[in-house]
Amino acid sequence: MAARKVLPGQELTMPLIACSACGHRISIEAEVCPQCGHPNRASRPEADEPKCYACSATATTRCQSCGVLSCVRHLQSIYVTHGRGGAYELRCKDCYSFAVTWTVISGAIVPVVVLAILLLIFVRM
Ligand SMILES: [Zn+2]
Ligand SMILES: [Zn+2]
Ligand SMILES: [Zn+2]
């Protein structure tokens, strides 16, 4: 029984996997199957991981306003009103600043409008 001779460099070759589309043996490093062009999923397992919109951390949650994927650190909790009553929502930076700006604007406009109406009534009397 003759031992199979290992060709030089053979042990250095990349592990092969079968293409999921045509079954052609391709390197796991290959981006696409050279035979049929089918994308090789095994080449980039991290590509499927959702990433945070602000950093490279894996997204574990998402903005409750626009739905952008985010890590825990880049979401901020804010109290928002929904008609009657309100709830705390986790929001991305953009949605958070929008909500804060809107709260400040409405907080500043409402007293001014009320004051103006009261003044108008007072003047007409
Ligand atoms: Zn293929
Ligand atoms: Zn982040
Ligand atoms: Zn958002």
Domain spans of the chain, in order of start: 14-47, 61-114
Check pLDDT > 90 for residue 7: no
CA of 52 to the centre of ligand 2 (A): 5
Alpha helices in the chain (DSSP H): 93-124
Minimum-distance ligand to the CA of 74?
2
Minimum-distance ligand to the CA of 56?
2
DSSP 57: S
In the chain, the N- to C-terminal Cα span, in Å, equals 117
DSSP codes of every residue in 88-104:
EEEE-HHHHHHHHHHHH
Weakest mean pLDDT among 4-13, 21-30, 96-105, 114-123: 4-13
What percent of the chain clears pLDDT 70, i.e. is strictly above it? 83
Confidence category of residue 25, pLDDT binned at 50, 70, 90:
very high
Confidence category of residue 31, pLDDT binned at 50, 70, 90:
confident
Q: What pTM does this model have?
A: 0.49
Minimum-distance ligand to the CA of 19?
1
pLDDT (average), residues 39-48: 65
pLDDT (average), residues 23-50: 81
